[in-house]
Amino acid sequence: MLGLAGLLLLQGDHLMSHHIFKNKPMAAEPLAPSQGGPLSGFNGPTSGSRWGASRPDYGRQGGGGHTGGGWGGRGSGRGREREVNPFGNDADVDLEQSFDQENTGINFDAYEDIPVETSGENVPPPVNTFAEIDLGEAVNLNIRRCKYVKPTPVQRYAIPISLAGRDLMACAQTGSGKTAAFCFPIISGIMRGNFPQRPRGVRTVFPLALILSPTRELSMQIHEEAKKFSYQTGVRVVVAYGGAPINQQIRELERGVDILVATPGRLVDLLERAKVSLQLISYLALDEADRMLDMGFEPQIRRIVEQMDMPPPGERQTMLFSATFPREIQRLASDFLAHYIFLTVGRVGSSTDLIAQRVEFVHDGDKRSHLMDLLHAQMANGVHGKQSLTLVFVETKKGADALEHWLCINGFPATAIHGDRTQQEREQALRTFKRGDTPILVATDVAARGLDIPHVSHVVNFDLPNDIDDYVHRIGRTGRAGKTGLATAFFNDGNLSMAKPLADLMQEANQEVPEWLTRYASRSYGGRNRRAGAGRFGVRDFRRDSSYNRSGGGVNYYDGGNSSGGYGNYSGGAYGPGVTSAWD
């Protein structure tokens, strides 16, 4: 918890500072090294070893010791284990490359003009290069293996904030590198930290970090990424998600776990079986945090975070990330945070410009033939095949099956992913899509968030979602990491509530809004633009809302937002009924 000095710092009415930065390169300002772990408040470390210092054990019963690179010799009772090289044959390519060299293929200039806003107390300064950040040699090597040359805007700000031990709520565009933004500080924090000896002789494992994500596929992806970032650091990452045999996952856990990546349902199962304890969690990251806290899922997250044995806010470090953050959800989220910094990486002139958005008026009965026309046009333009994948979003699982079938019988190799398919089928669909064997994937919202599939050049909203934030995530499957992409939406009278938010969003992103859509929008069919008031940012810190500050009896954000007073009435209404989950 905060020390006296920290509390004094936080008193007073006007202490929250608020900064807007242009994301232009700035004078290099090296970050003070070793800014402390989650237990040290935000004034720096009270303890913590430096690189290469030993850690008492690695999440396995029976302890062991950090041998400095690789997992050999740690006392799991299972003998030596060789770490699989997650980079394949690429591992040692380009290691001579310095961070200063340009990385072809990624258009970083696209990110240079993005406005960045932070609010909160004592915001640590951003960095311009990875070299300025003290992540440790092993992590730096992995960053090079990943061919990351310089940090993306969200990484430039979020990594120093997290390394300083601060809680963070971060909102940054799709495809802008949020995964690395929360993984790097966690991995380096575990490498440098002094953690209590984990209990011996029990079959429960005690991870030090927990990363929660809403879908199985996203958890798998984060796991793959985290394994790359932590290669040869001695930090072990394990994943647990539903639909796959739990016993296999338990065996993996028993081999040792520092970072557990999980979907909530499967984690609850493991907690109930006492296979996992959250007692020693020092880092909690929620990816797609707004989704994790919406109406359907909030109780499960509260159960994990508040009702099991996880240390409370202030005693752990919490990081919440998403590309969207409705203010009602921010309110809920603030329960999980202590003295946090809000970071938003703006939208206007931002990398969402990389996605060309089109809206076409198409009656339901004409959608299939219209899609066919689009696909034919794509082929005529040479935009097809392995390097040019098309992701088609539909509303229902049945609709996904039917459209997949229809495309296949019409000569378009397609596959589908949705919550009624077995996990094996889901994974197989993603694999054949990524490989380009079936360059069209028909999907429900289960594939809307987080999935980073290279070469998705076109996202089609065959059925528009009912929520503009879902639209943002869906189209964000293209135009990732500085690349360009196309998003086409089919709009008709069934989507009236989306007219205004869609027109506003397109305008914000400098897209051409069709005349007819503007007319629909001006009639304002009761559609709610949850971005209202966010100005040139997609969203802003809800603590800055005048209504919030006037509410009096609400939460004092300097108190970590942990008082539940004032917010009990939120009904989660931002997300409509019928939201389905792929969790378990």
Minimum CB distance to ligand ATP, residue 427 (Å): 18
Smaller CB separation from ligand ATP, 371 or 459 = 459
Q: Pick from 174, 219, 334, 350 the residue near ligand ATP by CB under 6 A.
A: 174
Site track 321-360 with ligand ATP (rule: CB under 6 A), x = hit: --x-------------------------------------
Burial class (CB in 10 A: 0-12, 13-18, 19+), 523: exposed
Does 407 participate in binding ligand ATP (rule CB under 6 A)?
Answer: no
Q: Which residue has the CB atom at the shortest distance from ligand ATP?
A: 177
Least separation, in Å, of the C-beta of 182 and ligand ATP?
9
Nearest CB to ligand ATP, comparing residues 180 and 503 = 180
How many CB atoms are closer than 10 A to CB 80?
Answer: 10
With beta carbons less than 8 A apart as the criterion, state whether 294 and 332 touch: no
| Least Å from the CB of residue 265 to ligand ATP | 20
Q: Is 180 in the site for ligand ATP (CB under 6 A)?
A: yes
Q: Are 329 and 15 in contact (CB under 8 A)?
A: no
Nearer to ligand ATP, 224 or 252 (CB): 224
Q: Choose the stretch contacting ligand ATP; rule: CB under 6 A; options: 24-32, 207-215, 301-309, 476-484.
A: 476-484
The window from 148-156, 238-246, 290-298, 326-334 that contacts ligand ATP (CB under 6 A) reads: 148-156
Query: Is residue 538 involved in binding ligand ATP (CB under 6 A)?
Result: no
All residues at 6 or more sequence positions from 532 whose CB lies less than 8 Å from its CB, including other chains: none
Which strands sit side by side in the sheet containing 283-287, from one edge to the other?
Answer: 17-22, 115-120, 341-345, 168-171, 317-322, 283-287, 209-212, 259-262, 237-240
For the chain, helix, strand, coil in percent to 5 are 35, 15, 50
Pick the stretch among 170-178, 312-320, 362-370, 531-539 that binds ligand ATP (CB under 6 A): 170-178
Least distance from ligand ATP to the Cβ atom of residue 577, Å = 25
- Relative to beta strand 115-120, strand 341-345 is antiparallel
How many residues lie near ligand ATP (CB under 6 A)? 18
Q: Does 152 bind ligand ATP (CB under 6 A)?
A: yes
Total residue count of the chain as it appears in this document: 584
Pairing of strands 17-22, 115-120: antiparallel
**Scanning residues 264 to 323, which ones bind ligand ATP (CB under 6 A)?**
323
The secondary structure of 142-185 as a DSSP string is HHHHTT--S--HHHHHHHHHHHTT--EEEE--TTS-HHHHHHHH
**What are the structure tokens assigned to 549, written together?**
């500050």
Q: Binding to ligand ATP by residue 450, rule CB under 6 A?
A: yes
| 6, 36, 45, 151: which one binds ligand ATP (CB under 6 A) | 151
CA angle 320, 207, 283 (to 5 degrees): 25
- For residues 579 and 295, the answer to whether their CB atoms sit within 8 Å is yes
**N-terminal to C-terminal alpha carbon distance within the chain:** 33
Binding segment for ligand ATP (CB under 6 A), chosen from 147-155, 194-202, 400-408, 415-423, is 147-155
Least Å distance, CB 12 to ligand ATP, is 35
Interface segment toward ligand ATP; rule CB under 6 A; list 146-154, 196-204, 406-414, 438-446: 146-154
- DSSP collapsed to 3 states, 41-88: CCCCCCCCCCCCCCCCCCCCCCCCCCCCCCCCCCCCCCCCCCCCCCCH
Nearer to ligand ATP among residue 61 and residue 152 (C-beta): 152
* Residue 175 in contact with ligand ATP, rule: CB under 6 A: yes
Q: Which of 10, 106, 276, 371 touches ligand ATP by CB under 6 A?
A: 106
> Cβ of 88: how many Cβ atoms within 10 Å?
7
Applying CB under 6 A, the residues found at the interface with ligand ATP are: 106, 148, 151-152, 155, 174-180, 323, 450, 452, 476, 480-481
